[in-house]
């Protein structure tokens, strides 16, 4: 077997590690992989062009940016913060745990488009989490603030990934079904999707615990760092 195409994977890893522009890394890896597999240059460029063109729907979602930007111009983020500031007993830990559960449950009934980074995390979840953290711990050190924002995005991802497969009519379940069927193992989507539930529960417990741990850690930080 020709193992040379794997060099493309190595290029991706090295390129990302050395912090080259990821687009350059990806295209460089694609060209190298194709050429090492014995394809000619034109065929690789064609494959790249066709796949880029076929996947345009991925980048369509940016058309939401004017809506979010316009609302931010009129104080959407500030409003999201104010809601949390006025909520008694709101902590970052509780807020993100509730969002995690909300994201898992809505994804589990097929509503995976209800959250997401441009439309929910940036304008709403992240400012709310930051406001809640400041409410309990006072003004955050920049490092802690970055962690809270990153944890908000992480919570959206974890909630989505480990909720969506409980819904039986989702692409990944259909893919599993298709692969097993082609090997002579007919499975129903429901048989597969119930087995997403144990992992979903583990995800809620583990990530929920980590959210609380971050909240506690920030609470301890001023005493330790003295700042």
**Binding to other proteins, residues 59-78 (CB under 8 A):** 59-78
Given candidates 87, 94, 119, 141, which one binds other proteins under the rule CB under 8 A? Answer: 119
Structure tokens at 173: 């379940």
**198-217 footprint of other proteins as x/- string (CB under 8 A):** xx--xx--xx--x---x---
Should residue 196 be labelled a site residue for other proteins when binding is judged by CB under 8 A? yes
CB of 135 to other proteins, least distance (A): 17
Confirm if 211 and 151 have CB atoms less than 8 A apart. Answer: yes
Q: Is 105 in the site for other proteins (CB under 8 A)?
A: no
Write the binding mask 27 to 66 for other proteins: x where contact by CB under 8 A, - elsewhere: x-xx--xx-xx-x--x-xxxxxxxxxxxxxxxxxxxxxxx
Q: Which long-range contacts (CB under 8 A, 24 or more apart) does 110-116 make?
A: 110/167, 110/169, 110/170, 112/160, 112/163, 112/164, 112/167, 112/170, 115/156, 115/159, 115/160, 116/156
- 139 interacts with other proteins by CB under 8 A: no
173 binds other proteins (CB under 8 A): yes
- Asked if 101 interacts with other proteins (CB under 8 A), we say no
Contacting other proteins (CB under 8 A), which of 22, 40, 138, 225?
22
Question: What does the buried/exposed string (b/e) look like for 73-99 if buried means 16 or more CB atoms within 10 Å of the residue's CB?
Answer: eeebbeebbeebeeeeebbbbbbbbeb
| Region of residue 128 (phi > 0: left; psi between -120 and 50: alpha; otherwise: beta) | alpha
Q: Segment contacting other proteins (CB under 8 A): 1-9, 87-95, 132-140, 215-223?
A: 1-9
């Amino acid at each position: 077997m020709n193992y040379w195409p794997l060099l493309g994977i190595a290029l991706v890893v090295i390129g990302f590690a050395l912090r080259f522009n990821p687009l350059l890394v990806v295209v460089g890896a694609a060209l190298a992989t194709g050429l090492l597999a014995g394809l000619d240059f034109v065929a690789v460029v064609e494959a790249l062009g066709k796949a880029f063109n076929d996947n345009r729907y991925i980048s369509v979602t940016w058309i939401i940016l004017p809506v979010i930007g316009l609302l931010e111009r009129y104080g959407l983020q500030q409003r999201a913060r104010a809601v949390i500031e006025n909520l008694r007993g709101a902590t970052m830990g509780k807020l993100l745990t509730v969002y995690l559960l909300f994201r898992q449950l809505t994804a589990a009934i097929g509503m995976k488009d209800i959250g997401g980074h441009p439309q929910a995390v940036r304008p709403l979840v992240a400012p709310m989490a930051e406001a809640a953290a400041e409410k309990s711990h006072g003004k955050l050190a920049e490092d802690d603030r970055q962690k809270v924002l990153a944890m908000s995005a992480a919570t959206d991802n974890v909630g989505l990934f480990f909720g969506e497969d409980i819904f039986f009519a989702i692409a990944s379940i259909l893919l599993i079904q298709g692969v097993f069927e082609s090997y002579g193992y007919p499975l129903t989507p429901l048989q597969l999707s119930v087995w997403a539930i144990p992992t979903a529960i583990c995800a809620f417990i583990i990530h929920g615990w980590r959210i609380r741990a971050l909240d506690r850690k920030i609470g301890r930080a001023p005493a330790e760092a003295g700042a």
